[in-house]
Amino acid sequence: MVSYLNVTDSYGHLVPDLSFPYAWQAESIVRINDGINAASIVCAVLVLLVIFCVWLYNRKLVDRVSLRLSAAISATDLVNSAAIIIYSNVSAAGGVCKLAPFLIVWLTNQYILFTVAIAFNLQYLFLNERPFNPYFEKYYYIFAIGLSLLTAILPLAADRFGFDEAQQYCWFKESHTFVSQAWEYLTYLIPELVATAYCLIVVGTVVFRLKRESKELDRQISQGRQAAMNASAQQGSTDWVAMPEPVLRRQRTRKAINQVVRRILLYPLVPLVTQIGFIVSEMWMYHNLAISYPLNVWGVALSATPGICNFLAFCIDPAMYNAMAAIKTDLIAKYGDESTDSSPGLYTISTKPSRPSTSIQPNHPSQPPTGPFTGLMRFIVRTFFTKSSQRGAAAFFMMSSSEKQTDGRKSSFSDPLQHIAMTDLQDGGHEIVEIPEVKRPYPASGFASDERYDWKDVPDVNPPKFPGTILNDPTYSEHDRHVHHTYFGSQRPSHTRFNDSVRPPSPTASMPQSFESTDRIVRSERQDRAERRAARTFMTGL
């Protein structure tokens, strides 16, 4: 049953009582609101502080779109949580009573639109398979700030913010009327519903795509293993034949990208977690002209957690994992007992002595540490870092230990041409991979050992597919087409592949089998390098 106050609105109608019937209910809501928002403020400050400190150490470690958007979300949550605390403790008409709802509408919509920008960026790069364009990033901020500010300025200019007699809070004035509810729906509730639905659609589509690619990847691995076994059987060998290392590296790259995408998915889920309770509570109250204490506890508690949720997503962000690992490696190299040299941003990867050396050497040797805190830093690093981890660091990606054994066995590092820097890891841990550009001789062509492979130097044996033709070649997988399209675009290169005046003669049909195998390895390694470059570009834009 609807109860009314002995007060009339501007239309001469009685105002319904939308306040809590018991004082303890209103007091508990205020305490829940203040406590959780205070925690959100702390979490937002931590995110900003960590990003700022890592940026001071080496700005390249945080050079990623989603991290910059996460910093913008944290800054927004910081101010928004303070505004909500003011909102719950102000109960008198005046300028502050108009400012509080203005800030809530503006900043809540702003952080949601920043999250929409992360979801759109994920859709653009991963689902639409478009190349990263840094020029577009500024429009994410223009869109989020501009549209959210517009949704708050319009009701403020229409004098819709103020003290609401029905709810006894500073919100949309006369919230029980159709006009006030229309303003709230159009500027606050509907934008949140649309944004949340879009983020949910993107998350669902990405999850479906990841599962499909995972099945495709398993199928390719199975086919590659079977092909290697068949080739070995035709040559009369009964030994186990491993898949070529470039193929294994491409499989690891794909799995690592999928792992990064899975973690990025936590950002678009934040609006669904934080806003759905408040939306349900408001709609229920306006429909029944009565307030529900359980729904308000749900809505108030979760709507105060954006800073906390963003902090949790930030903590498992792979870019921050890599940044912390890079800093840790540099500290071990400088203050620990490791013989590894490093400098900020040069991620030396150390291995156990039992393995062949795969360390990436820095450009200059490290200097002996000096300073008043050198002894303390040595104690901290040797006590907590060197004994707890033997992992190195890189700014590319991380993959789980289950992803390392792509072909059922550990990758071999005996061939120096298959140069990929890895670290030892325990089961359940992570390894950090940095794949440098490698110079390789072409064994059958007589070129100097310091020359890179170039397709213009390779005789026309099973000619490689250029980007203009690979998109229509059925022998290439969907993922291969995506990588080549992302890195090269859809246009065929303008230069010709061969200079006919210096083109080497085509080999005869009696060419040794070893040369044909070498040519296939060369093409596989070139495709591997192209995919790694595309992956680096993809990771920067993600």
Contact residues for 445 (Cβ-Cβ < 8 A; gap 6+) = 457, 458, 459, 504
pLDDT-derived band at 3, boundaries 50, 70, 90: confident
pLDDT for residue 203 is more than 70: yes
- Structural contact between residues 98 and 248, judged by C-beta atoms closer than 8 angstroms: no
pTM tops 0.85, yes or no: no
Residue 204 lies in a domain: no
Structural domain contains residue 30: yes
* Residue 391, domain member (yes or no): no
120 within domain boundaries: yes
User: What is the residue range of 186's domain?
Assistant: 4-10+19-193+268-316
The pLDDT assigned to 527 comes to: 62
- Which amino acid is residue 71, in one-letter code? A
Give pLDDT, residue 464. Answer: 41
Contact criterion met (CB below 8 Å) for 96 and 90: yes
Name the most confidently modeled range: 1-10, 329-338, 403-412: 1-10
Are the C-beta atoms of residues 351 and 358 closer than 8 Å to each other? yes
417 contacts 438 by C-beta, under 8 angstroms? yes
Q: How many domains does the chain have?
A: 1
The pLDDT value given to residue 533: 62
Q: Is 83 contained in some domain?
A: yes
- Residue 444 lies inside a defined structural domain of this protein: no
Backbone angles phi, psi at 31, to 5 degrees: -65, -45
In the predicted structure, residue 529 carries a pLDDT above the cut 70? no
pLDDT at 387 over 60: no
Cβ 441 vs Cβ 424: under 8 Å: no
CA distance 477 to 158: 57
- Residue 301 maps to which CATH number? 1.20.1070.10
Among the ranges given (145-154, 298-307, 456-465), the one the predictor scored with the smallest mean pLDDT: 456-465
pLDDT digits (tens, 9 = 90+) for 491-525: 444 443 334 444 444 444 444 444 445 555 555 56
> Looking at the DSSP assignment, which residues form a beta bridge with residue 171?
162
Q: What mean pLDDT value characterizes the chain?
A: 72
Q: Which of 210, 195, 202 is nearest to 261 (CA)?
A: 210
- Type of residue numbered 313: A
pLDDT at 458 over 80: no
Provide the token pair at 462. Answer: 């099973």
Report if residue 38 sits inside a domain: yes
Given a cut of 80, whether residue 33 has pLDDT beyond it is yes
Core vs surface per residue 112-144: b (16+ CB within 10 A) or e: bbbbbbbbbbbbbbbeeeeebeeeeeeebbeeb
In a domain, residue 457? The reply is no
